[in-house]
Every structure is written in C-alpha cells, then in structure tokens.
Structure 1
Amino acid sequence: MPASFRTRPATQADGGFLADMVVEAANWRPDGARPKHQVMTHPDHNRYVAGWMRPGDAGFVAIDAHDQPVGAAWYRMLPRTEPGFGYVGTGVPELIIGVRPIWRAHGVGRTLLRQLCEHARGQGFARLSLSVERGNFAQQLYRSEGFAITAPGHGRDTMVKRLR
C-alpha cells in the first residue's frame, strides 16, 4: 500500500506533470495504453494543459512522502469555440483529474476532487463539469461526490456538480 500523501496548490511549474495526468486519465483502461506523445499531440487532450497556468486555471497536486507528485486535479475555462469533452457552457470550468495507477483507490482522487470543488466554490463558480468514459471506475467516485450525468454521449458522459 502506498504511504501517506498531502496536497498543495498547482503551480505553473506543474504543467509537465499535469500532461502526465492527462495521459493517465486517457489511459484508464488496463489494456492498450497509448504513449504520451500520441495522447498529448491530439488537440482533444492537449487543450487541458496547453499554456498552463492561464488566468482562471486552478488545481491541486497530491505528493507522496518524498515530495513526488502522484496525482492532480485541476480545472480550466475552455471557450465555446474549442470545447473540452465535458463542456457544458460559458462560465463553467471543466475539471480534469489523474492519479498514478499505484495510488488509485487510496483516497488521492477523492481528496483532490473535494479540494478542487471547495476552491471552485470559493471562487464563486456555481458548477463544475467533467467528462468520463463509460466503464471508467472513476464514474463511481464522481457520483458519490455529487456529480450527475447531464449529457450522455457516445461512449462517454458529461457530469456536472452544483457547488451552491
């Protein structure tokens, strides 16, 4: 079992690690993982980290006892002209979360998700959205934390949490 972890706010220097977490999120299935360059050269994935930290971006990073990053959750505002997988409208940040496989099912994702939701609420946002592929075990986490499916898609669902 992994040792304990703590969280800290994401910084501009975390952009590379956030890209790693996009790859982890995209490769959630145990079979057929795609290499980082294949995932991150695709605009559907790259938009979540390109130019990190832009105004309005916020996130948290989980680190282990040796100060190594093990997971991250962040949000960003994506324009209607370049929506993300979980885009629901202007003014609703889209959440992205990734956790290294060895740290999954140890509370890292839930801790990051709760911290990010509280931060978004404190910033005055009424909702957060995300997208999750059907069959992804993370969907249970999202449901248990108050996210609900608002737009079923082709193989993936958009989920939204009301923050106030």
Structure 2
Amino acid sequence: MASSFRIRPAVAADGVFLGDMVVEAANWRPGGARPRHEVMDGADHRRYVAGWLRPGDAGFVAEDANGEPVGAAWYRMLPRSEPGFGYVGTGVPELIIGVRPIWRAHGVGRALLQRLCEHAGAAGYARISLSVERGNFASSLYRSEGFAVVRSGMGRDTMVKRLR
C-alpha cells in the first residue's frame, strides 16, 4: 500500500463516513469489533455525527490516491446538557478522530490531528479536548501532539490541548 494521501475539508456529504470513523474509533481493540449498528444506535456515539455540519462543526478527511476516504478528524461543540466523553466545558470543541486500520501508522492520524488543531486555533478556540480509552495506542500520538490528561474516569481519560 502506498502511504500517499491528501487531506481536504469535511463537507455535509461526509456524515456517513464520519459515522464509519466513530465505529473505527470505538473498535480500536484488535478482535473487539462491534457492528456499526451497535455502536451508532446509542446516543453516546451518535451525538458525534447526528446532523453533521451544523454551525460550530469543522473537520477534515484524508483520502488515498484514488480519492477513497481513509480517515477523518472533526470537532463538535456539544452542550453541557448532552456532553460527549471528552467534554470539558462550554466553548471547548471536542475532537473525534478515526482512521481505517490498514492506514494506521502511516501518518494519517497525525496529519489529521495537526490540521484540525491548526484550524481550531485559527477559529479562535483556546483549547480542544478529546476522550481516549486507557490502553488505546492513540494516547501516545495525542501526548506527542501536546495533549495532556485533565480527568480520568471509568477506563478512559479526557485530554486537552492548549491552542494559544
């Protein structure tokens, strides 16, 4: 597999693919794949894509040389009344990222993460948050990109990066 990819802004039509990436993120453990409907039927995961590209949403999609999407990173502003796993407060967007397994460890996740954080900073946000389950190999990527654990919960950590 060639590791050449490009990154483009996410558009409204990417909603289904973003749902696929929520499923990839939820199924990070080898051999622990839950079917799409099982992951997306619950409000805990569905909130990350429902009504995609509403005001305050932003994201990027990585595509392979054939234009097929292979990963995505995006953020949403979730309300205090319906917080996401990585909610830290009003005015702090929550980041979601997913990469197809065959494309992991090829720089796709890092490139998406960097692009999204640059965008969030340029949009005026001071911080961005995410949630990661303990043991997920992505934790080391987040730490290397400046995220720090601000809260530990039931098997997961909430991480925040200062953008300015």
Q: Which interval holds the TM-score relative to the shorter structure?
A: over 0.9
Return the offset for 1:31: 2.0
State yes or no: 1:85 paired with 2:71.
Answer: no
Q: How does 1:6-155 map to 2 (within 5 A)?
A: 6-155=6-155
- Return the TM-score normalized by structure 2: 0.99
Return the offset for 1:2: 3.5
Return the offset for 1:102: 0.1
* Conserved? CA contact 2:94–2:129, under 8 Å: yes
Residue-by-residue CA offset, 1:41-67 (whole Å, 9 max, x unaligned): 110000000000110000000000000
Structure 1 residue runs without a partner (length 5+):
none
Q: Distance in 1 between matches of 2:32 and 2:135?
A: 15
Change in 2 beyond 3 A, CA 1:30/1:2: farther
| Secondary structure class of the residue paired with 1:87 | coil
Q: Distance in 2 between matches of 1:144 and 1:161?
A: 11
Quick one: which amino acid aligns to residue 87 of structure 1? Answer: Y
Quick one: which amino acid aligns to residue 125 of structure 1? Answer: Y
Q: Which residue of 2 aligns with 1:4?
A: 4
Quick one: which amino acid aligns to residue 61 of structure 1? Answer: V
Return the offset for 1:115: 0.2
Q: Distance in 1 between matches of 2:25 and 2:32?
A: 13
Residue-by-residue CA offset, 1:68-100 (whole Å, 9 max, x unaligned): 000000000000000000000000000000000
Quick one: which amino acid aligns to residue 101 of structure 2? Answer: P
> How many aligned residue pairs are there?
164
* Conserved? CA contact 2:121–2:163, under 8 Å: yes
RMSD (CA atoms): 0.6
Q: Distance in 1 between matches of 2:31 and 2:101?
A: 13
Runs of 4+ in 1 over 6 A off after TM superposition: none
* Conserved? CA contact 1:62–1:71, under 8 Å: yes
Quick one: which amino acid aligns to residue 142 of structure 1? Answer: Y
Q: Distance in 2 between matches of 1:144 and 1:42?
A: 31
Quick one: which amino acid aligns to residue 62 of structure 2? Answer: A
Structure 2 residue runs without a partner (length 5+):
none
Quick one: which amino acid aligns to residue 7 of structure 1? Answer: I
Q: Distance in 2 between matches of 1:32 and 1:150?
A: 27
